Amino acid sequence: MKTKKVRVLLGALAVMLIAWALNSCSKSDVAPTNFTTLTAEIAVAQNLIATTTEGVGNGEYVKGSQATLLAAITAAQAVSANTATTQTQETAATAQLTAAVTAYQAAVVAPIDAADLVGQWTFDELTTATVGTAVKDYSGNNHNGTLQAGHAYWSTAAGYPYATYPAPATNIPTITTDRYGKQHALHFLAGANVDIPYNAALNPQQAITISLWAKADTLPNQTSYKYFANNYMVALSRWNGYKFQFQDGPKAFFTVDHDGTNYDNQDDNATIHSLTKWLHYAVTFTSGNMSFYINGQLTYSWTTAGETGGMVLLNGAAGTNTAPVDLVFGQDLPTAAYSTDSNSPNYLNYGGYYIGALDDVRIYKAALSANQIASIYALEKP
């Protein structure tokens, strides 16, 4: 009898031992989460933050990029500190942080070759504004200009650019308040313009970037944005060279002429909702690609495989589409270049002018990268 009881007890004990063993095996099958890879990636990210700086100089990083990386580090640390984190979650967190590190490394400011800067007009030197007042080119390339009055067609009667538009008070550029609150910008109306004598350097052949600050006017009796059509901010022989303008929408718009007959016209495909505030605009062009930026951010990029080629050189005979024409801010042609001949490439009635303020105009003979555009904006923003 005792033997039978012992056997029962031993059997029960065996069952308990088997159950314990099975339970132990079940628990040991789930390996503890290994945070080694995530910990190492956090260290890499933290080292980047500690050893790099934001700024606009060569080797610095675009302003705002560190905040994005710091947010990614914080998220990764939260995953690492959570005892319930699974291996799958650790792996995903590592991948996300690695992507953030890669994005940060891509935000390094690439230097802009000083030789690519064709002209830079800040208007900071101006204390008076009369016809003939000199406008300095700060690039060192001596592409200095002068203030000029708009064509009489624009300034002698009301009705342009829309039916109820009043006759303008002046057709000469006037000094106005810039985005810093200083009197270092120019206001344009009725064809008022800056005329810069033609030079082949202002007519790059392979690529171009135009960077500027603009603040368009809110006009009396304005019922739509249609008056922004043909608002020429920068123009070298209209569509026969290149022109950067606002179109109705309103949208930024750029045109380049490849060879005297083939044109590339594109807009930034994004309505500008704060046109009457100071904004930074930039456009880049190189064969088959045109990109637009507002306040340092890419707004649209066109890839035009069917419209490839460089930019036409304006070296043709007078009266032709490729005749040299001065570079102009505020009007689509130099005032003296307009013609009343409807067969002329400079026909007056095809023209237009800018209505608003401009500041810090730059022209480069290269298509700057997105980071380089962002660095200009970061440098110049208030």
Domain 114-380 has CATH 2.60.120.200: yes
Does residue 242 surpass a pLDDT of 90?
A: yes
Does residue 15 surpass a pLDDT of 50?
A: no
Nearest to 355 by CA among 281, 275, 239, 280: 275
pLDDT tens across 176-200, in order? 999 999 999 999 988 999 999 999 9
DSSP structure class, residue 347: B
pLDDT tens across 45-101, in order? 999 999 999 876 678 887 788 999 999 999 999 999 998 999 998 899 899 999 999
- Which sign does the torsion angle of CA 280, 268, 154, 277 carry? negative
Nearest to 347 by CA among 356, 355, 337, 339: 339
Which pair of structure tokens corresponds to residue 148? 């000029």
- Residue 365: other Cβ atoms inside 10 A: 20
The matching CATH number, chosen from 3.40.50.2300, 1.10.1060.10, 1.10.3720.10, 1.20.1270.90, for 36-105 is 1.20.1270.90
DSSP structure class, residue 198: -
Does residue 20 surpass a pLDDT of 50?
A: no
Main-chain phi, psi angles of 20, to 5 degrees: -65, -40
Is residue 256 left, alpha or beta, with left meaning phi > 0 and alpha meaning psi from -120 to 50?
beta
Which pair of structure tokens corresponds to residue 266? 């594109």
Sequence-ordered alpha helix ranges (H) in 156-311: none
User: How far is residue 255 from each of residues 34, 76, 198, 203, 344, measured CA to CA in Å?
Assistant: 57, 47, 18, 13, 19
Which one is predicted more confidently, 224 or 381? 381
Average of per-residue pLDDT across 9-26:
43
Does residue 2 surpass a pLDDT of 80?
A: no
Q: Are 223 and 345 in contact (CB under 8 A)?
A: no
- Residue 351 CA to its chain's centroid (Å): 27
Give 284's contacts (C-beta < 8 A, 6+ positions apart): 207, 208, 209, 290, 291, 293, 367, 368, 373
pLDDT of residue 224: 53
Nearest to 90 by CA among 29, 36, 30: 36
DSSP structure class, residue 270: S
Q: What is the CA radius of gyration of the chain?
A: 32
Does residue 125 surpass a pLDDT of 80?
A: yes
Q: Any idea which residue has 């990614």 for tokens?
A: 72
Most confident of the following: 78-92, 138-152, 294-308: 138-152
- Where do the domains of the chain lie? 36-105, 114-380
Pairing of strands 117-121, 279-286: unpaired
pLDDT of residue 44: 95
User: How far is residue 62 from each of residues 102, 114, 260, 281, 367, measured CA to CA in Å?
Assistant: 14, 19, 39, 17, 18
Percentage above 90 pLDDT, the chain? 50
pLDDT tens across 348-373, in order? 888 888 989 999 999 999 999 999 99
pLDDT of residue 293: 94
- Of the pLDDT bands very low, low, confident and very high (cuts 50, 70, 90), residue 265 is low
Q: Any idea which residue has 């033997």 for tokens?
A: 3
Q: Any idea which residue has 């930034």 for tokens?
A: 268
pLDDT of residue 252: 85
